[in-house]
Amino acid sequence: MSENLKLGMESLWYGINLWISCLVFLLPLRRKTHFKVRLILSGAVCVLILSGVYYLIENLTDWSYWGQVPLLFITYFSAVLIFYNCVKGKGFGLWYCGVWGTMTFLLVLETSYVLCSPLLGDLGNWLLKILFSVAVNVAIGLTLARWMPEKGQYQIGPRQMVSAWVFCIMSENLFIYAKVDPGAALFNIVLQFYCITLLYLQSALFKKSSMRKELETIQLLWHQQKGQYQLSKETIELINHKCHDLKHQVQAIRAVKDEKERETYLEKIEKSVQIYSAIVRTGNEILDTILTEKSLICENSGIHINCVADGSLLAFMNPVDLYTLFGNALDNAIEAVRKLESKEKRVIDIMLYERQSFLMLQIVNPMCGEVKFEDGLPLTTKAKNGYHGYGMKSMLHTIQKYEGHLTTEVKNGCFYFNVMLPLERDSNKK
């Protein structure tokens, strides 16, 4: 086999091997539409680019350290490109996938070099490389690649991403040194294996930390539900009171012969049944329940709610997240409006609509007094008994979970609560 042909095959194998390692981590994730076409096209582009760069670097430079640095940077960004083109991701998730794809690729490639032997010949060595690559990638695909993502995505923060990049750079350095000094290749392979092991342990630790935070959120929601029970009890008592009044008023009407007096009783009944005007229909059952309950509470407190909402836009939100966001926001608005002496000012405006593929929520209420802000959020006016003040934080956490943005401001004597969430148009999960 000529040297140029051998180098050409090595270059092609370099690109294909990276594509295989990325494929292993792609399969468990949430895929974009036309996944197979995207996978083939992005793989072909990256294989051509990497093969060409590998071939040029082999011909134009020796295997010195600085000669290989550009190749490995291009390798990592090619892996990230494959992930961005084929699967859905949030934040640093796809960059993190690129780290795993690159480190797995380097470990497989370097180990296959060590396993090759002149005794096997060119054909035997190529078969060994292919079988070893398939075996390792299948093993990782059935274990680590399936264990790490949550619901088809990686939830990666800045600290975890930075440490992952550090491990990736270490792995790339070990690969280069193994090429520069083949005698140290076996030792470098062991170190690369340790890097991958540490990266997985780091992922497990961050996942445990995330679970602990989720447990704290659940405990917080439990305390909120406890308060919600009291509000529900008040609502039921209000309905029972109205029904009791209706029963007696109907009985009274039967005995009344005077037309004027009968009209007075009918007006009372009409006022009593106004409670049913509090029932809201938005196109989302969960939002309807929340708004109806809050409307009943407002009706008992002399507060009027103006609601223009397309609840169907909220179909992508988890019910608990929906309750956390709207329940806390409306509780805050009701608490502020109750303090107003003028009943004419006791009004809460709710608007929920779509603008340029974003869900826009705005809740506006008049207020009295001064609001103090910290980090862009209003400070609680309640006593700090351990749970007050978490309402705004839990709402912010929920909004950030959906990659949204929250702003609050006081303008012209009114408090504005504004939320913007990106709408998920592509719900095709393959």
Question: When comparing pLDDT for 233 and 38, which is higher?
Answer: 38
Element of type H or E holding 299: helix 285-300
pLDDT in tens, 97-137: 999 999 999 888 888 877 776 667 778 888 888 898 899 88
Residue 99, CA distances (Å) to 12, 103, 170, 219, 373 in order: 21, 6, 11, 35, 40
User: 182 with 313, same domain?
Assistant: no
Q: How far apart are CA 350 and CA 405, in angstroms?
A: 17
Contact at 8 Å (CB) between 405 and 419? yes
**Residue 318: which CATH number?**
3.30.565.10
Q: What single-letter DSSP state applies at residue 30?
A: P
Q: Which of 339, 359, 338 lies closest to 418 in space, CA to CA?
A: 359
User: 179 with 305, same domain?
Assistant: no
User: 178 with 66, same domain?
Assistant: yes
Sign (positive or negative) of CA dihedral 209, 213, 218, 222: positive
Element of type H or E holding 415: strand 414-422
Q: What single-letter DSSP state applies at residue 326?
A: H
- 3-state secondary structure at position 143: coil
Residue 124, CA distances (Å) to 81, 110, 129, 130 in order: 33, 17, 9, 10
**Last-in-domain residue among 186, 213, 240:** 213
- Residue 278: CB partners within 8 Å, gap ≥ 6? 292, 295, 296, 298, 299
Q: What is the dihedral of CA 283, 286, 288, 293, to 10 degrees?
A: 180
**Last-in-domain residue among 213, 228, 257:** 213
Is the pLDDT at 79 greater than 80? The verdict is yes
User: 109 with 187, same domain?
Assistant: yes
Total count of domains within the chain: 2
pLDDT, residue 320, reads: 78
Is the pLDDT at 35 greater than 60? The verdict is yes
pLDDT in tens, 308-332: 999 999 998 888 788 889 988 999 9
Question: Is 240 within the bounds of a domain?
Answer: no
User: 343 with 194, same domain?
Assistant: no
pLDDT in tens, 166-175: 888 888 787 7
pLDDT, residue 40, reads: 93
What distance separates the 2 farthest-apart alpha carbons in the chain?
A: 116
- 3-state secondary structure at position 352: strand
For 230, the token pair is 């009291």
Question: Is 107 within the bounds of a domain?
Answer: yes
Average pLDDT, the chain: 81
Question: When comparing pLDDT for 138 and 221, which is higher?
Answer: 138
Question: Is 373 within the bounds of a domain?
Answer: yes
By DSSP bridging, strand 358-366 and strand 347-355 are antiparallel
N residues, the chain: 430
For 256, the token pair is 């009344």
User: 284 with 172, same domain?
Assistant: no
Cβ-in-10-Å burial (0-12, 13-18, 19+) of 267 comes to: exposed
Q: What single-letter DSSP state applies at residue 379?
A: P
pLDDT, residue 20, reads: 92
Question: When comparing pLDDT for 266 and 386, which is higher?
Answer: 266
pTM for this predicted structure: 0.54
For 37, the token pair is 């076409």
- Count other Cβ atoms within 10 Å, centred on residue 366: 20
User: 187 with 292, same domain?
Assistant: no
Question: Is 230 within the bounds of a domain?
Answer: no
Host domain of residue 209: 3-213
Question: Is 254 within the bounds of a domain?
Answer: no
User: 284 with 386, same domain?
Assistant: yes
User: 185 with 288, same domain?
Assistant: no
Question: Is 252 within the bounds of a domain?
Answer: no
Question: Is 184 within the bounds of a domain?
Answer: yes
Burial 109-123 (b: 16+ CB within 10 A, else e): bbbbbeebeeeeeee
Q: Which of 314, 191, 292, 197 lies closest to 238 in space, CA to CA?
A: 292
Residue 347, CA distances (Å) to 81, 205, 228, 303, 310 in order: 51, 48, 22, 6, 20
pLDDT band at 224 (very low <50, low <70, confident <90, very high): low
- Of 34-38, 121-125, 237-241, the least confident: 237-241
Is the pLDDT at 63 greater than 60? The verdict is no
Question: When comparing pLDDT for 87 and 240, which is higher?
Answer: 87
pLDDT band at 78 (very low <50, low <70, confident <90, very high): very high
Contact at 8 Å (CB) between 272 and 300? no
Question: Is 410 within the bounds of a domain?
Answer: yes
User: 184 with 284, same domain?
Assistant: no
**Last-in-domain residue among 213, 233, 258:** 213
User: 196 with 83, same domain?
Assistant: yes
User: 21 with 141, same domain?
Assistant: yes
